[in-house]
Structure 1
Amino acid sequence: MGVMLTTDFTVPQRRVQDLTDLMRTAWWMTDRTPADVHRLLDNSDLVVAITHDSTDRLVGFARVLTDYVYVALVLDVIVDESHRGSGIGAVLLDAVVTHPALADVRSVELVCRPDLIPFYRRWGFTEQVGTSRLMRRTTDPRLTDGP
């Protein structure tokens, strides 16, 4: 990759606004506020934050909700638009799927757009989930169809 990156499993208070700004670049997170992001961080079981060392900029993020036994749900995977295609997404996913806390989890799951399926397949994710279907109850109209 050639670019020096730092992977952290916490997001310090001083980075909450940076994370909020990064999240707001994704269609499903445009209404995030620093207060909501702070609560999100406090209530996530695992977070991964990637910082670009030379610019000290937060360029990638993902989080996980899990029971540490049966299921872990990967959420809010995002890479700064100017760094997409540079390998930061791979660094994020590597950090998630190899995290020791998730080593014994039976099923790691995520939801993604169809065009990202080939990317996630590299870590063994599959869209073959039997007859299971994603269901949702939401008050957010953006989450009914997506882009």
Structure 2
Amino acid sequence: MEWMHDTLPYRINDSWEELEPEPDVIYALLQTSYWAAHRSRETVLRSLENSLCFGLYHGETQVGFMRVVTDYTTFTWVCDVIVHPDHRGRGLGKSLMQFLVEHPAVRDTRMVLGTKDAHGLYEQYGFERLELMRRPIPAAAQ
């Protein structure tokens, strides 16, 4: 599935073939975040292999990423949503979320996430703020 921006040269897709050659781009993006900077490259690569992933592209260059964990039936956990700083402020985070909530593989699932920020963005797409319990990440998974 692919989405093209109406007026800007951006597109989003769920093509593993296009995403797969770019793990270093994804790793670098996630290293700039507060929630994933501690992840090793190996952990990031394994998480990609076991998730539904979406790439955000400016022309042929990947400038954003979204990853969800899902059983494709009952739940979808939104884990990583990030846009390169040079491309922020253009509504691309909203475009990623719209793409997700309309995606036929997961649109009928209950979507959940845990975040310290961007609550307003997620609430626009039907997410509710809830206190989530969190357990520490085992040292082996870091």
Give the match's secondary structure for 2:90: coil
SS of 1:138 mapped into structure 2? coil
For the aligned residues, what is the CA RMSD? Answer: 2.1
Letter in 1 for 2:81: V
Q: Deviations over 1:62-109 (max 9, x none)?
A: 11111222221111111111211111101110111111011321x111
The percent of aligned pairs where both chains have the same amino acid is 34
Q: Match of 2:8?
A: 3
Q: Distance in 2 between matches of 1:103 and 1:78?
A: 20
Superposed displacement of residue 48, structure 1: 1.0
Report the equivalent of 2:115: 112
1:18 equivalent to 2:25? Answer yes
Residue 90 (structure 1) aligned to one of 77, 89, 94: 94
Contact 2:19 2:55 in 1 (8 A): no
- Scaled by the length of structure 2, the TM-score of the pair is 0.81
Which SS does the other structure have where 1:126 is aligned? coil
How many Å separate the matches in 2 of 1:29 and 1:69?
27
Q: Residue type of the partner of 2:126?
A: G
Which runs of no fewer than 5 residues in structure 1 stay unpaired? Answer: 141-147
Q: Which position in structure 2 is the counterpart of 1:143? A: none
For residue 125 of structure 2, what is the aligned residue in structure 1?
Answer: 123
SS in 2 for 1:27: coil
Task: Decide whether the 8 Å contact of 1:48 with 1:95 is kept in 2.
Answer: no
Structure 1 counterpart of 2:136, which letter?
T
Letter in 2 for 1:62: M
Contact 2:72 2:105 survives alignment (8 Å) = yes
1:58 aligned onto 2:62:
yes
Q: Offset at 1:39?
A: 0.9
Say if 1:137 and 1:36 are closer, same or farther in 2 by CA, change over 3 A. same
Name the TM-score, length of structure 1 as normaliser.
Answer: 0.79
- CA drift at 1:8: 2.0
How many matched pairs?
A: 132
1:138 to 132, 136, 142: 136
